[in-house]
Amino acid sequence: MKILNSILIIGLSLLTSVTSIAQPTKGGKKISSDLFGLFFEDINYSADGGLYAELVQNRSFEYNPTERSEWNPFSYWEYISPGFSYGRISVETSAPVHPNNPHYLVMDVEHVGNEVKFVGTSGVGLKNSGFDGMVVKANDQYNFSMFVRQLSKDPISFNISLQTPKGKVLAESKITTSSGEWTNYTASLIPTQSCDTASLVILATIEGKFAIDVVSLFPEKTFKNRPNGLRADLAQMLADMKPGFIRFPGGCLVHGDGLGNMYRWENTIGPIEQRKEQRNIWGYHQTAGLGYFEYFQFCEDIGAKPLPVLPAAVSCQNSGGTWRIGGTGQKAVPMDEMKDYIQEVLDLIEWANGPVTSVWGAKRAAAGHQVPFNLQYVGIGNEDKITTEFEQRFKMIFDAVKTRHPEITVVGTVGPAPDGEDFTKGWKIADDQKVPVVDEHYYTSPEWFISNQQRYDAYHREATQVYLGEYASWGNKLRNAIAEAVYMTSLERNGDVVRMASYAPLLAKKNFTQWKIDMIFFDNTVICPTPNYYVQKMFSANQGDYYFDKVITKDEKDQLLAASCVQDSKTGDIILKLVNYNETAKPMKINLGKFGKTAAEAEQSVLAGNPDAENAFENTSAIAPTSSKVKISKSFDFSAPAMSLTVIRIKTKNK
């Protein structure tokens, strides 16, 4: 009988869990399920020295003076010769590890001195302190690798170590070469002690000559332990936002500083020593170690749809000279090269979605991803000047993708501002060509966001949809974030025409920024999220796919008050977002009458405080949301705190 009872209970609970899959409540408007996502651009040292976990700076000796006048292939390396040793170094290009990676270092070790007390191992070699010092943790594993080609007859022995600034050895390993061909040697280093300012030291301890390139050091503990992976703490901050999509790799970085500098996705896949490094438009170096494979992998790891953006075969209109001042302007890929260029765009779709038997699908599989990435969106162009050259090329690419891949949603571009010439011309192309989605950008005052909440109410419902690909109000104070929250409720209300939206820029390394207002600041050890981060997170981690009006009553004449109600049809949860940009608390009324049975208790998060408050490295959580459980009834009064965003997530009991 007991057994029968348990079977009955299991059966009943199975039935309950099956039948309790929520149905969207009647009366809701279907909105985009991809509404809130992330825009990642390699600006402000977001990639190398940032999200990309590589600890060695200038690992391939490819830095050069076009990036920074003081840079050269030996930048961030130090020649060392402890123990009265001596030798010679040169940078050469005649027989590189790969043609895409032309520079390498040649070292001639002429004399290795005797081991000297207090100096440590004698030899001739190199030291790299990474991006302002390497952060290493006691007992964690660090994976070292380097390509070496022996140029003298006998094998070369190396001592590889991690050292403090004072030369204390934290971890040590030995490598001996075995070939006159480029060979990848690896070692693992486990520091005995943590250090935020460590250096990597490579010492040849035997006389002889060798070439060295692609010297790399990665923590084993990257995000999800991926090799060639991402800095775990930063990646986790992004994962916590539960973004619907990630747009990458830019921004202006995409269309580049002149034609030769456009971001070409094919150069960023495959083994790291075969990737093409280059200066980025923001004036520093990109190794492309964080390349298309890693972007797609990260999207998959955190359940976000990938949104790669490719140049529309024109370079940035601000190309040349100093960023945004003068320069050569927009340049277009010559017409007789467009066939190849279009093929490159089509190849990306095959690389992402094609079977392993296809040419490009096989390259994806070779990188370790057999199954397709399920790419749905491709962006063509980034806030380009809408010239005849742009228009011709955009149409050619758009037509090719539409014909060959009707399953792909193309995202076009309508200039850098919420209105004006490029905006109007870009929208005309979108209307004429029936482009499915276009990318709007605006960086402006908090007041603009408050007074433009009705912007998308007036957009045509049956025409091109909007991707608000870059937006931010001018500041990282709480008031900026709350102004954005006000506006974001209008994006939800218009989620039938606004398909996606992403704040910009995302990441910024302290003391290495090119853009002042950003979402997350960081240095090598500390992450400082802004109030804007929390607003983005509160919206993106609480997305719905049905919008409901008339649930929240408030003073409709008060433009500083905003609210939205959505339901997530996967969970059945009802999500209220209640925003008050006033400097005093304001009343609202909530009526959940249309939602059937709801839980008596709900999760509530509140972001509130002094309008001028912001987070700083000295106090990274001056402004952060607080969470609590609150009692909920069918209809209840709510007092929205001054300068606040409140999110209330309510479970339903729809059967």
Known catalytic residues are: 383
- Interface with ligand AHR includes 492 (CB under 6 A)? no
Are 212 and 87 within 8 A, CB to CB?
no
Task: Out of 71, 74, 515, 636, point to the residue binding ligand AHR (CB under 6 A).
Answer: 515
Supply 525's token pair. 């050890």
Other CB atoms within 10 A of residue 343 CB: 12
CA–CA dist 120, 159 (Å, integer): 11
- Report in angstroms how near the CB of residue 382 gets to ligand AHR at its nearest: 5
Q: 292 vs 120, 151, 234, 303, 494, CA distance in Å?
A: 42, 35, 19, 16, 32
Residues numbered 383 to 442 that lie near ligand AHR (CB under 6 A) are 383, 416, 441
Pick the stretch among 246-254, 264-272, 550-558, 641-649 that binds ligand AHR (CB under 6 A). Answer: 246-254
CA–CA dist 312, 108 (Å, integer): 47
C-beta of 43 vs 647, nearer to ligand AHR = 43
Exposure pattern of 463-473 as b/e (b: 16+ CB <10 Å)?
ebbbbbbbbbb
Residues numbered 438 to 467 that lie near ligand AHR (CB under 6 A) are 441
- Give the residue from 547, 512, 12 showing the smallest Cα distance to 283: 512
- Interface with ligand AHR includes 252 (CB under 6 A)? yes
- Report in angstroms how near the CB of residue 385 gets to ligand AHR at its nearest: 12
- Interface with ligand AHR includes 41 (CB under 6 A)? yes
C-beta of 350 vs 518, nearer to ligand AHR = 518
Tell me the backbone φ, ψ of residue 621, rounded to 5 degrees. Answer: -125, 35
Residues numbered 580 to 609 that lie near ligand AHR (CB under 6 A) are none
Q: Which residue has the tokens 């609480």?
A: 542
C-beta of 512 vs 515, nearer to ligand AHR = 515
Q: What is the DSSP letter of 237?
A: H
- Give the residue from 257, 273, 213 showing the smallest Cα distance to 91: 213
- Give the residue from 278, 392, 420 showing the smallest Cα distance to 330: 392
- Interface with ligand AHR includes 566 (CB under 6 A)? no
C-beta of 379 vs 572, nearer to ligand AHR = 379
- Interface with ligand AHR includes 250 (CB under 6 A)? yes
Q: Give the pairing type, strands 465-473 and 498-503.
A: parallel
- Report in angstroms how near the CB of residue 295 gets to ligand AHR at its nearest: 16
CB-nearest residue to ligand AHR: 251
Task: Lay out the site mask for ligand AHR across 322-361 (x = CB under 6 A, - = otherwise).
Answer: ----------------------------------------
Supply 121's token pair. 């191992």
Size of the site for ligand AHR (CB under 6 A): 13
3-class state of residue 586 by DSSP: strand
C-beta of 11 vs 283, nearer to ligand AHR = 283
CA–CA dist 319, 252 (Å, integer): 10
Task: Out of 257, 294, 470, 523, point to the residue binding ligand AHR (CB under 6 A).
Answer: 470
- Report in angstroms how near the CB of residue 312 gets to ligand AHR at its nearest: 13
CA–CA dist 138, 107 (Å, integer): 32
C-beta of 49 vs 83, nearer to ligand AHR = 49
Q: Tally the residues of the chain.
A: 655
Task: Out of 486, 504, 561, 588, point to the residue binding ligand AHR (CB under 6 A).
Answer: 504
- Report in angstroms how near the CB of residue 414 gets to ligand AHR at its nearest: 12
- Report in angstroms how near the CB of residue 317 gets to ligand AHR at its nearest: 10
C-beta of 319 vs 382, nearer to ligand AHR = 382
Pick the stretch among 248-256, 477-485, 528-536, 581-589 that binds ligand AHR (CB under 6 A). Answer: 248-256
Pick the stretch among 10-18, 76-84, 245-253, 587-595 that binds ligand AHR (CB under 6 A). Answer: 245-253
- Interface with ligand AHR includes 382 (CB under 6 A)? yes
- Report in angstroms how near the CB of residue 505 gets to ligand AHR at its nearest: 4
- Report in angstroms how near the CB of residue 518 gets to ligand AHR at its nearest: 9
Half-sphere CA count of 298, side-chain side, radius 13 A: 32
Are 655 and 21 within 8 A, CB to CB?
no
C-beta of 507 vs 608, nearer to ligand AHR = 507
C-beta of 31 vs 252, nearer to ligand AHR = 252
- Report in angstroms how near the CB of residue 126 gets to ligand AHR at its nearest: 35
Tell me the backbone φ, ψ of residue 452, rounded to 5 degrees. Answer: -115, 25
Are 484 and 473 within 8 A, CB to CB?
yes
Are 28 and 547 within 8 A, CB to CB?
yes
The span from the first CA to the last CA of the chain, in angstroms, equals 29
- Interface with ligand AHR includes 62 (CB under 6 A)? no
Axis-axis angle for helices 338-353, 359-366 (nearest 10): 50
- Interface with ligand AHR includes 540 (CB under 6 A)? no
C-beta of 104 vs 503, nearer to ligand AHR = 503
Residues numbered 87 to 116 that lie near ligand AHR (CB under 6 A) are none
CA–CA dist 273, 61 (Å, integer): 11
Are 519 and 44 within 8 A, CB to CB?
no
- Report in angstroms how near the CB of residue 565 gets to ligand AHR at its nearest: 31
CA–CA dist 42, 287 (Å, integer): 11
Strand order in the sheet with 574-580: 29-30, 546-547, 561-567, 574-580, 644-650, 601-608, 626-631
Pick the stretch among 80-88, 167-175, 247-255, 393-401 that binds ligand AHR (CB under 6 A). Answer: 247-255
- Interface with ligand AHR includes 505 (CB under 6 A)? yes
Residues near ligand AHR (CB under 6 A) are 41, 43, 250-252, 382-383, 416, 441, 470, 504-505, 515
